[in-house]
Amino acid sequence: MHYQKYKPAPYLAPFVECYFDWSTDGPLGAPLRIESPPTGFASMVFTYSDPYQVRVGQHTTVAPPAFLTGQATQQYELHVSGRIGMTGIVFRPAGLSTLFGLPMHEFTDQRLPLADVLGTSVTYLYEQLGECPTSSGRAALLEQFLNRQFLRRGDCFDRTDFAANLIVDKFGVLTVNELLDELYVCRRQFERQFLQKVGVSPKYYARIRRVGYVCAQLATQRWQIHDWQDFIFRAGYYDQSHFIREFTQFTGKRPTLYVKDNVELSHYL
């Protein structure tokens, strides 16, 4: 199994977190179920191999071959089988809106076919990605696609991009008042623009980012946490009950069950 990330060009870095490519050389021996907590990033995903299913809550759907997804506010599961082949762009929280002018509150928890959102022009890109034999080549095609869009719209980086990126960089551990002090804007205007460009409110986004970072940290440490008190405090939670409440709300599981499930999953990977 190959999973690779590619950094964007510096001028795209305020809008793009990375390009990714995930593939297998042949079919999987057994179907795989992968849990994904809300990460705080929107993305465009292109499948160039076997289709896969996405489960959110009680609903399971087949992911469109090329789709756009906004902020996730709850955990979802990928059910993959056969041969894996998917590539895509992970955007910084306001990046999709800035580069494509999309109202992101309309894409929260949605996976919409790209052609429905951006028109048939993406069909050519999808075909090119399918024919490209290397992951680096696919990443280059995705960057060319963004380059054209960047040139078309110009550099529209604004205070919402700045604020959203700051929340990412601080792992969600800051308050809206701290952001407002930084930006010199009125709360109401800021919150409306943030909802438009990110898809959720700044306070809610900071909560998503915090949980997403916690889950990433758990995975980095192979779900082995020796000092939970310290871990919870560093992640910006007041106390254990605050942490459990937040974690359960966004992942649908208590932390202990989440860790147990993932430790079991890691044995199979």
Partner 1 sequence: MQTNTQESLTDLSRQGAALAFFTAYDDLDTARMINLAAPDATVHFLPLGKDGVGTFWEFGKAVWDSLIDCFPDISNTVDSLSAEGNTVTANVSIGGTQAKEFMGIASKGFRFDSDHVFVFTFNEADQIQSLTINWDGASFAQQLGA
- Chain positions contacting partner 1, by CB under 8 A: 51, 61-64, 71, 73, 103, 105-106, 108-110, 112-113, 116, 188, 191-192, 195, 199-201, 203-204
Nearer CB in complex with partner 1: 123/221: 123
Least distance between partner 1 and beta carbon 107 (Å): 9
Q: Are 85 and 151 in contact (CB under 8 A)?
A: no
Nearest one of 167, 160, 181, 165 to 236, comparing CA atoms: 167
Residue 93: phi, psi to the nearest 5? -55, -35
Name the residue among 126, 139, 148 with its Cα closest to residue 22: 139
The CA-CA-CA angle for residues 88, 10, 42, to 5°, reads: 35
Minimum separation from the CB atom of position 214 to partner 1 (A): 19
Q: Report the residue number, 8 or 70, with the smaller CB distance to partner 1.
A: 70
In the complex, the smallest distance separating the C-beta of residue 51 from partner 1, rounded to whole angstroms, is: 8
* CB of 251 vs partner 1, minimal distance in Å: 16
Would you tell me the crossing angle of helices 202-220 and 240-251 to the nearest 10 degrees? 90
b/e burial code for range 166-184 (CB count within 10 A of at least 16 → b): bbbebbbebebeebbeeee
Instruction: Output the smallest distance, CB 249 to partner 1, in A.
Output: 11
Residue 16 or 176 having the CB closest to partner 1: 176
Q: Between 149 and 201, name the residue whose CB sits nearer to partner 1.
A: 201
**CB nearer to partner 1: pick between 67 and 223:** 67
In whole angstroms, how close is the CB of 116 to partner 1 at the nearest point? 5
Residues 209, 189: Cα–Cα separation, whole Å: 22
Nearer to partner 1, 14 or 65 (CB): 65
Is residue 14 within 8 A of residue 41, CB to CB? The reply is no
